[in-house]
Structure 1
């Protein structure tokens, strides 16, 4: 009698910003138990440190299709491999950098797997913004003063910064804005904030490569935000924080002692 093949749900696992110590316990367990690990973003590679030595690990090149073809077409090879390994009864893990649902990237995986009637689970990961805010003790919210945090994906802006202009209203209410993939549009974003009445003295903090050994940070105001890029120490990916309550309260031990931060903390 032939045993019936057991099929395991595919795991779409968020790897966080880079530091494997920031993997959730569940994510680490699933990666460790995986038979096959597939990924297409080098940022996710740090999570491979917890993989089993017997696991099949494959980097999947994204097809360079035209823009009209869409993300699904560019990711078709990944879906083909997932399906093939799944049908062999293997525990398949598809790694996604950061939090899988944060930028909607995992949506394409979910839709594709649903079309193939393949069960799946999505395992959360720590976003770069959350990791950096905790590393530097950035107060993204302040009791009774700021009750909202808004994340903006700012790599493609085609609406005359309409969303940014709306976000400026939140800044005036004490909200914090977290900007992802914003470096290319930072000048326009800052200009839109200023046009909408945001104070030039509003703090802005940039954290580069959150969770990586060469992580760096820079502090400025909206009025002199150009100095962030001019410093030359910020490498992509960079996450930007904007808000009136922002101040770096802490640094990893290896980054001490920063005189300007010490003075801020002592005067708080």
Structure 2
């Protein structure tokens, strides 16, 4: 039972106190409750009210049985709260003297609009604390057995969002520059515009046979992983009936899933390829 979970002795013997009138903006991680930070758990234990996003697991909220729950989820194509209303609701709750926890999926500062909310709070005189979380673009891919960086593949990684405030593919993105400069590309919220994104990358010169992984419901029991290529990605996603939330990863690091699918290995499966990058030598040999 979650009530039995207790915090270890904290730094200097004491964990930070969530004071009345404060708002803590906290990342809940990509889904698996075990990926919460201890600071996040500490916040859940103290909060009077938790304002949470659509992708926050109910089991995480159960660690705050004393708190009022306020849903502030936003999902594409569904009725959602307006960002202005969410930000001002946080201000109002803090002004009421509540200890407010704003719980956001992943990390609040990675395509989470946490910066906007924090700025609004500070402009209204509300003190804030930021608690980072594991972003789906890192943690979700790791659960799929895909390293975001791998020495034999990439020395850089580019994170982009698949849609902007209007819900369309961001017009400010220079897809040609991204295609030419991103060894590995991680795309958040890209399912709605996957055809447009694939076309832009192909037109900019990315190889048609470049490996792509689509990770849906990352780190949860409902996680699904589709391995495909850039040219086949749109058709394969349509045929699979996969739905958001999803992370798209474009690059040769996707091949490492053939050997690093640790969840498959734990279930008794054998590695599909011990040397998916065709190095021709053991991994420990430089």
Q: Hey, which bits of structure 1, 4+ residues long, moved more than 6 A?
A: none
Q: Which residue is 1:206 aligned to?
A: 214
Q: Is contact 1:200–1:221 with CA below 8 Å preserved after alignment? A: yes
Deviation at 1:191?
Answer: 1.9
d(CA) in 1 for partners of 2:198, 2:120: 38
Tell me which protein shows more helix as a share of its residues: 1
- Could you list the per-position Cα deviations for residues 91-134 of structure 1 after superposition, in whole angstroms to 9, with x for gaps in the alignment? 21111121101115112211221221111011111111111221
Residue 54 (str. 1) matches residue 62 (str. 2): no
2:28 match: 15
2:144–2:215 CA contact under 8 A, matched in 1: no
Aligned to 1:189: 197
CA distance in 1, matches of 2:68, 2:240: 39
Partner of 1:165: 176
Verify: 1:245 aligned to 2:257, yes or no: no
TM-score, with structure 2 as normaliser: 0.76
What runs of 5+ residues in structure 2 fail to find an aligned partner? 1-18, 75-79, 279-286
Contact 2:49-2:98 at 8 Å conserved across structures = yes
Aligned residues: 246
Uncovered stretches (5+) of structure 1, i.e. residues with no partner: 1-5, 63-70
Q: How does 1:1-268 map to 2 (within 5 A)?
A: 7-39=20-52, 41-46=53-58, 47-51=60-64, 53-60=65-72, 74-143=82-151, 145-155=153-163, 156-157=168-169, 159=171, 163-171=174-182, 175-247=183-255, 248=257, 249-253=260-264, 256=267, 262-265=271-274
* Cα distance in 2 between the residues matched to 1:257 and 1:190: 34
Shift of 1:240: 0.6
Is contact 1:135–1:252 with CA below 8 Å preserved after alignment? yes
**Taking structure 1 as the reference length, what is the TM-score of the superposition?**
0.81
Equivalent residues of 1:20, 1:49 under 8 A apart: no
Q: Shift in Å at residue 208 of structure 1?
A: 0.5
